Chains A and B, each alone.
Chain A
């Protein structure tokens, strides 16, 4: 559960309407039941003198005073309620002034939401907001009419293509809720859900940074020893695009270091015998990088080795409405491949690999692209760990059941 300022405003107005409704309902039904019981036909009772007669215009009945009183009474209640509404509507529609207000663009599509934060950070499975800050939502759609609702906040607004509607909320407490779509938008309307998380300001900042970092690159650990006679092993392999953490161990009797040649141009300081040093770098481009042992003064000491950076096997993945085409669905355990993912559909898609789950937390998956707008491409690297079968699917709600779910075969080396 999670609440916003609008929650209390709505609840109190609803309770007012409900109370008056129940009171009026009970009064009317009581009067009705009283009438029915009191004036039920009894055997032998005379028929009222003015009973309707076929084909005759019935005589007039009715006191104008009673009718006017009824109209006025109803009118007074209704106008009281109407003014309660107008008061509440201003509170629900007008965001309080907040110089730190966060603007999030909410775009509905079949069948998900994209939440775009300042700086272009896009989230599709959850909308995350900091506590105590006004969050302004600018809601629209890229295809049909959707309706963005956060029941816990008591807010909802239609997402209409070609039109931007605004909504706001501010939560005083962290918590978790959900969004639902409340306008029929196609086959998978019911699946169109996302998570709402209100978190502390620092957690929000961390989330935003992580989201903004783009797809995570796979990291590999490599190790090399500097010996008296040279490097062991003399040759290392890495895959283009991965993050490498290279552990350098000095197995020689004197201080030694290691220098990496162009284009990296990195070097360890002198390592005492038996000690370790770490070099962290991205194997950005394919090619060969020289590994040069150095002495305490940084001069070359002994024969050089080689780090071979190889381009991974590229596999084209096409995301269409609503199927996934993978050029080669056979992977080898331990072999890093590069998925070149293109959205050729009309709807945003993404591409997830791992064990299929409809959980919205994409961090549990082995690899995932961000949400891709139609026509956009992205490359992601993936290294299957062990032989077996993996799922590959589009994580936009409902798309998997429309056909965007397939498998990848991983064979042993």
Chain B
């Protein structure tokens, strides 16, 4: 990338901001990954004292916060920044400077949140920040404040980005491109934006109240007034939709990858969109399933059991359509496709084990256990992360103009896939082990599972270096990609790789449907 460091400090180009998001989120992935390996090292044998209890809690807390909020979501944002304008034929986002501001707020927020490690101790209360453990009385240190401020900056960053992207998608599409005609990745981002628009304000408000409680003597979360429940409701009103925020962009990427590599259009786009709309709506109606054993209202628990299990219905439809897309196709197993297929398999396991957790009755023995840990790693790593890595392999040639090493990419996939399953299947096998414990007794029956899980985790961690090597190799030596190396659907494949500033040398082309194809409603060539 030319232009020196000044370009990267001052840029407002959505593609440059996308690259900044990509590099930064991968750096946070490295941080979160090292923290994960510290956890796995500490738990590899019973009774280890590699990490003392308090540092262990810091590591566990920051692993969760960094991976969920400063890696996965911004990683999806990186692809969104780069490709949403390209896919809709826009020259940039509606508010390019606000987009740059979003990035810098995210970077600063992440650094502030993680700086606790250098300033006497990071937050050590779990990434859920349950009150009153977060109160000044029980967490007097700076860690919770730094995490709170860092997350507030992130909340501001996400909120202004949400507005920016919504305006861009709704107002800056090329002539003739209907909402319906948008590629699935942009569609998924649109659903993500709707979720962020409603979820993050709750989180921002909760964080403000937390900081006020700690420093200005307010008592929003005091136990006498039901504060612990209030925090949990606010947090999970944000927190459950947040997992859809993490999932949907990757799912959208997979819905581009699979048609491209199976060489068939997405099966039932209309139904998939309806399914996504239903899932988006349901994502706000299930948060109490994170609180099934907190003593919330019994009817609310039963209702949320049913709404949670209902989410399987739209995802059943999405699965049908994903696999049916490949039926009678001509499937090429390139790295993006392998990760896309890996996503289908792993997210399935995440979903099915999640159905178990949706049962309020079963939570009476599974809440706070390694079943939960293994389940959400299947959804967030096997699901969201595999999907986004598929997207990264898919769009990397467009971003850099060069192909990645195919064989190395395949080795990366297989080592990831096997090591991931080893790591987290072992955790299902220790599902009666409580979460977030620093160590366990040798006679607890968890020793073998933990050792296997730790070995798997280290292999999984090491295999990510293959991606890094591949990226560096490709950037230096990769063969030229051309405009459209895969045969993808979106408009991004019609411009040079990487696209020039302004994206489209000429005016973005109006939508044209091939004569032999049924033109989507309202998007005919005549109209354009």
Contacts and interface: CB of A to CB of B under 8 A. Distances in A.
A55 B348 contact: no
A228 B242 CA distance: 94
Interface in B218-276: 222-229, 259-260, 262-271
Given A39-B330, A78-B313, A156-B367, A10 B226 contact: no
A363 interface: no
Interface stretch (B111-119, B402-410, B431-439): B431-439
A313 interface: no
A82 B310 CA distance: 9
A47 interface: yes
A85 B133 contact: no
Nearest to A191: B53
Contacts of A52: 259-260, 263, 265, 487-489
Interface stretch (B160-168, B195-203, B314-322, B382-390): B314-322
Interface in B268-308: 268-271, 293-295, 298, 301-302, 305-306
A278 interface: no
A160 interface: yes
A73 B132 contact: no
B92 to A, nearest CB: 19
Interface stretch (B9-17, B186-194, B490-498): B490-498
Contacts of A32: 323, 341, 344-345
A184 interface: yes
A25 B348 CA distance: 7
A372 interface: no
Contacts of A31: 323
Interface string A33-63: 0011001111001111011111111111111
A189 B260 contact: no
Contacts of A185: 133
A276 B360 CA distance: 68
Given A54-B489, A183-B130, A21 B270 contact: no
B1 interface: no
A170 to B, nearest CB: 15
A184 B436 contact: yes
Contact of B364 (A28, A42, A154): A154
Contacts of A346: 137
Nearest to B432: A151
A155 interface: yes
A31 B487 CA distance: 25
B324 interface: yes
A78 B295 CA distance: 24
Interface string B311-341: 0111111011101111111111100000001
Nearest to A150: B365
A240 interface: no
Given A45-B330, A67-B321, A182 B369 contact: yes
A54 B490 contact: yes
A113 to B, nearest CB: 14
B121 to A, nearest CB: 11
Interface stretch (B349-357, B416-424, B456-464, B467-475): B349-357
A57 B331 CA distance: 21
B54 interface: yes
Nearest to B306: A82
B359 A81 contact: yes
Given A66-B320, A67-B271, A55 B356 contact: no
B269 A58 contact: yes
Interface stretch (B31-39, B71-79, B447-455, B516-524): B516-524
A145 interface: yes
Nearest to B298: A93
A50 B138 CA distance: 62
A326 interface: no
A186 B138 contact: yes
A110 B53 CA distance: 14
Nearest to B174: A55
A329 interface: no
A337 to B, nearest CB: 34
Nearest to A35: B326
B512 interface: yes
Interface residues of B, number: 109
A149 B433 CA distance: 11
B361 A60 contact: no
Interface in B16-33: none
A368 interface: no
A178 to B, nearest CB: 9
Given A39-B329, A149-B434, A51 B264 contact: yes
Contacts of B348: 25, 28-29
Contact of A158 (B138, B266, B293): B293
B57 interface: yes
B333 A190 contact: no
B501 interface: no
A39 B436 contact: no
Nearest to A21: B352
Interface stretch (A11-19, A258-266, A375-383): A11-19
Q: Among B137, B229, B352, find the residue whose CB has the most chain A CB atoms closer than 10 A.
A: B352
A13 B329 CA distance: 40
A189 B124 CA distance: 12
B205 interface: no
- Which residue among B222, B359, B436 has the maximum number of chain A CB atoms within 10 Å of its CB? B359
Contact of B513 (A56, A73, A160, A182): A56
A36 B364 contact: no
A156 B368 contact: yes
Given A58-B266, A93-B298, A154-B365, A190 B439 contact: yes
A182 B138 contact: no
A63 to B, nearest CB: 8
B125 interface: yes
A94 to B, nearest CB: 10
Contact of B269 (A54, A62, A143): A62
Given A48-B264, A85-B305, A86-B305, A161 B434 contact: no
Nearest to A86: B302
A39 B259 contact: no
Nearest to B126: A184
Nearest to A181: B434
A60 B437 contact: no
B505 interface: no
A359 to B, nearest CB: 12
A25 B352 contact: yes
B130 to A, nearest CB: 5
B328 to A, nearest CB: 6
A18 B263 CA distance: 36
Contacts of B301: 89
Contacts of A24: 352
A363 B340 CA distance: 60
A137 interface: no
A60 B518 contact: yes
B54 A161 contact: no
B226 A162 contact: yes
A188 interface: yes
Contacts of B59: none
B323 A35 contact: yes
Contacts of A143: 132, 138
8 contacts: A50-B265, A55-B489, A62-B324, A84-B359, A149-B368, A161-B228, A162-B223, A186-B133
Given A47-B263, A57-B520, A162-B222, 18 more contacts: A41-B263, A41-B332, A50-B517, A54-B483, A54-B494, A61-B267, A71-B317, A82-B306, A84-B359, A85-B360, A88-B361, A89-B360, A92-B361, A93-B298, A157-B295, A181-B434, A187-B54, A187-B124
By Cβ-Cβ distance, the 10 closest A-B pairs, closest first, are: A62-B268, A182-B368, A74-B316, A162-B223, A54-B493, A58-B265, A190-B437, A161-B223, A52-B489, A88-B361
